[in-house]
Amino acid sequence: MPEVKRPSTTVPLYQGEDYRRIEELRADLMEAASSAVVGPRLLSDTEPQGADELRALAEAHDAFVREAEERAAKVVVEALPRRRWRALEDAHPPRMVSKKVTDPDGTERTVEVPHEDDDKGFNFKTMADDLVPASLPLINPETGEVQFASEQERDTFLDNLSDPHFSAIYDAAIRLNTEAGGVPKAAASSLVDRIIAATLTSREDSD
């Protein structure tokens, strides 16, 4: 029978001061990106004003993230077998909320729709405590080495995590189980390139 490995990814859990610094660098980048998008541009500009600053901030962010990853604790997260994933979805159905809609004839009525946080088809709030431990294999599927000696050791590890660290694992587990491409590598430099390209496209469309 063919052997097919389920998708997996390594999640870095940044140390406290490193996590704080990454958040600061990201905030600086987002502020500069906002200014570049909305700021004035001359018709002769080939790039939005502030593009050089954006690139410098992105490079500083990415360089620090690479450095911080060397100090980070790391865990391997693995996608679940499909039947186990479906069982978790069934156990955590999305929350339904009431929403008023207007029909083409002007009639207003109330319908039940999934909560905005549950757009992937499950209850985002309650799924975490079941999905995260299930997605942390005791044996690292990438190396064959022991990741956790027992389920109790894994659960103790999770109980001691901060909420941002737990959320990082949860986010990776969701992506592995719902997106065909798995977990993309996030680089601020590539984000900046997309922002600049989108800004130029927007200017061309308005000419």
pTM of the complete model? 0.76
User: Per-residue pLDDT tens for 182-198?
Assistant: 555 556 666 666 655 65
User: Per-residue pLDDT tens for 155-173?
Assistant: 999 999 999 999 999 999 9
DSSP-assigned letters across all residues of 97-158: EEEEEE-TTS-EEEEEEE-GGGTTSS-HHHHHHHHHHHTS-SB-TTT--BS-SSHHHHHHHH
User: Per-residue pLDDT tens for 44-93?
Assistant: 455 556 677 888 888 888 999 999 999 999 999 999 999 999 999 999 99
